[in-house]
Amino acid sequence: MPGIVVVGAGQAGASVVAKLRALNYQGEITLIGEEPAPPYQRPPLSKKYLLGEMDLERMYLRPESFYAEQSIDLRLNEEVTSIVPGAKEVTTTNHTIEYDHLVLATGSVPRTLPATMGGDLDGVYLVRGLSDVDAMAPEFKEGAHVLIVGGGYIGLEAAAVAAKKGLKVTLIEMADRILKRVASPETSDYFRDIHQSHGVEIRENTGLERLVGNGRVTGAHLADGEELDVDFVIVGVGIDPATQLADMAGVEVENGIKTDEFCRTSDPFIWAAGDCASFLFRGQRVRLESVPNAHDMAECVAENIMGAEKTYVAQPWFWSDQYDIKLQISGLNTGYDHVITRPDGKGKGVSFWYFKGDELLAVDAVNEPRAYMVGKRLIDAGKSPSPDQIADTGLELKTLLKA
C-alpha cells in the first residue's frame, strides 16, 4: 500500500519519520538518502568531527537500529531519478515507490568553484558531508598551508580547526568584511580579532582569480595579482537550496521550494522542510539554514500530514563554535538599522543586539548564554526592550522578561 516517502536523510528527513511514528502513523514510511551513512548531525563535521573529537556513531541522530525497530524503510546510497506527481510515484536508482504523501527534505548544495578557476583540481574540498570531511582530514598536518575561500561561518569554523592543528591558514573574502551577509560589523570585528590572535591571516576585499596545479592544487592567483603557494584549499562560498527534484515534479520554486503556512507545496500531496524550503516570515519569503528550523519544520509537516492543519511559526536560532568561543544567535537581523553592544561586565563575553528603530530583531551572544536566553525569549514573545535599556549594563537582563 502507498505510504509516506521522504526524500533526503538529513536532519529534516529524520525528524519527519520519527515524528510520524511518535504520532502513531501506522502506514508505510520510506526514507531515502544518497549517502551510505544513516542520518547524522552535520554541524560537528567542520568542528569536532574534523578535530577528531567526535566519532561517527556519536554523530548519528538516532541509533541505526531505530529505523528497523520503527518499521521505517531506510534506503541509503539511493538517488531519486524521477518524480511523477500524477501517478504519485518516486523512482530511485533501484526502485519505484508509490506514495500518498511525499516530503522533500533535500537540503542544500554547496556552491563550487568552476573548473576554469581550478575547482576540479585534487586537493580542493567542500564541507558538505562525511565523505568530504573524511577526504580532507589527512591534509590537516602541522605546518601545511591551507587556503580557505569564503569568510562565512563554514570558512571560519574550518579556519579555527586548522589553526588549532598547527596549520598555516590564509582566509580570503571577496566582500569588505567577513560574515557580511549574516552579521553586523561589530560581530565581524570580534571574530576577525579572534582569528588573527590565533595566527589566521584574513584578507578581506580579496577575490580569487584561479587555483593552479598539475592535477593537484599547488597555488592560488588572487585577484590583486598576488600568488600564494598552498597545500590544499577549502571552499566555503555559500549554499543553494536543492530544488532539482521539485522542478522535476513541477512544484513551485521561489527562493527554495515554496511552501504555504502549513509547509505544503503547490502540490497538495507534496511537502517540504529544512534548508530546501522557503516560507513567509514577517512578510518576506525566507529560508533558514539551521538545524532547529529543519527539525521544527519537519515535525510540523508530520503533524499536518496527520491532519493537524498547524501553522508553522519559525523561531530562528543558530550557533557557531570557533576555538573556545560559542556564538549563539536568536532571531533574524534582516533590515536592522543599528546595533547595541553589551559587554557582560566580566570580560568573558559580549552580545550584539540588532534593532530596527525600537524593534528588537536579533541577538548575537558570544560566550554570553544569559544574553542569548533573554534575547531569545523576548524575540519569540514579540517583545522589544528599548535600545537604552540594553545599553545600560547596570540593568539586570532578566528583569526585561517581567516587563
What CATH number is associated with residue 362? 3.30.390.30
Q: Is the pLDDT of residue 403 over 80?
A: no
pLDDT tier for residue 313 given thresholds of 50, 70 and 90: very high
pLDDT tier for residue 179 given thresholds of 50, 70 and 90: very high
- Cα–Cα distance for residue pair 288/275, rounded to 1 Å: 6
- Cα–Cα distance for residue pair 218/228, rounded to 1 Å: 9
- Give residue 1's pLDDT: 77
What does each C-alpha distance from 383 to 352, 376, 399 come to in angstroms? 17, 10, 13
pLDDT tier for residue 46 given thresholds of 50, 70 and 90: confident
Same domain, 169 and 194: yes
pLDDT tier for residue 248 given thresholds of 50, 70 and 90: very high
Q: Quick one: angle between helices 291-305 and 11-22, nearest 10?
A: 40
pLDDT tier for residue 250 given thresholds of 50, 70 and 90: very high
Closest CA to 76 of 131, 30, 132, 38: 38
- Cα–Cα distance for residue pair 280/260, rounded to 1 Å: 8
- Give residue 137's pLDDT: 96
Span 131-151, average pLDDT = 97
Same domain, 300 and 343: no
CB contact set of 235 (below 8 Å; sequence gap of 6+): 110, 111, 112, 113, 119, 124, 125, 126, 149, 150
CATH code, domain carrying 100: 3.50.50.60
Residue 310 within a domain? no
- Give residue 290's pLDDT: 95
Same domain, 140 and 102: no
Domain boundary among 235, 263, 293: 235
Q: Report the number of secondary-structure helices (H) and strands (E) in the chain.
A: 11, 25
Backbone phi, psi, residue 122, to 5°? -65, 150
Same domain, 56 and 87: yes
- Give residue 347's pLDDT: 82
Same domain, 10 and 93: yes
pLDDT top residue among 346 and 83 = 83
Cβ(97)–Cβ(90) below 8 Å: yes
Least confident of 52-56, 285-289, 353-357: 52-56
- Give residue 390's pLDDT: 98
Same domain, 105 and 36: yes
Q: Is the pLDDT of residue 190 over 80?
A: yes
Please tell me the pTM assigned to this model. Answer: 0.96
Tell me the helix, strand and coil percentages in the chain, rounded to 5. Answer: 25, 30, 40
pLDDT tier for residue 345 given thresholds of 50, 70 and 90: confident
- Structural domain total, the chain: 3
Domain boundary among 235, 250, 265: 235
Q: What's the CA angle centered on 320, arms 363 and 254, to 5 degrees?
A: 75
- Cα–Cα distance for residue pair 110/125, rounded to 1 Å: 11
Burial grade of 396 (CB within 10 A; 0-12, 13-18, 19 or more): exposed
**Average per-residue pLDDT in the chain?**
97
Residue 167 within a domain? yes
pLDDT tier for residue 212 given thresholds of 50, 70 and 90: very high
Same domain, 282 and 212: no
* DSSP labels, 167-227: -EEEEEESSSSTTTTTS-HHHHHHHHHHHHHTT-EEEES--EEEEE-SSB--EEEETTS-E
What region does 100 belong to: left with phi over 0, alpha with psi -120 to 50, or beta?
alpha
Same domain, 30 and 78: yes
Residue 317 within a domain? no
Q: Is the pLDDT of residue 126 over 90?
A: yes
- Cα–Cα distance for residue pair 31/38, rounded to 1 Å: 10
At 50, which helix (H) or strand (E)?
helix 48-51
Same domain, 103 and 120: no
Domain boundary among 235, 252, 272: 235
pLDDT top residue among 47 and 203 = 203
- Give residue 129's pLDDT: 94
Q: What's the CA angle centered on 74, arms 68 and 80, to 5 degrees?
A: 165
- Cα–Cα distance for residue pair 338/262, rounded to 1 Å: 33
Residue 315 within a domain? no
- Give residue 143's pLDDT: 98
pLDDT tier for residue 94 given thresholds of 50, 70 and 90: confident
Query: How many Cα atoms within 13 Å fall on the side-chain side of residue 81?
Result: 8
Residue 180 within a domain? yes
Residue 190 within a domain? yes
pLDDT top residue among 402 and 219 = 219
- Give residue 360's pLDDT: 98
Residue 228 within a domain? yes
**Parent domain of 147:** 112-235
Same domain, 119 and 221: yes
Same domain, 105 and 243: yes
| For the chain, percent of residues with pLDDT exceeding 90 | 97
Same domain, 370 and 301: no
- Give residue 317's pLDDT: 96
Q: Is the pLDDT of residue 20 over 90?
A: yes
CA of residue 182 relative to chain centroid, distance: 12
Residue 27 within a domain? yes
Span 154-182, average pLDDT = 97
Other Cβ atoms closer than 10 A to 343? 14
In which residue are the cell numbers 502540490 written?
Answer: 267
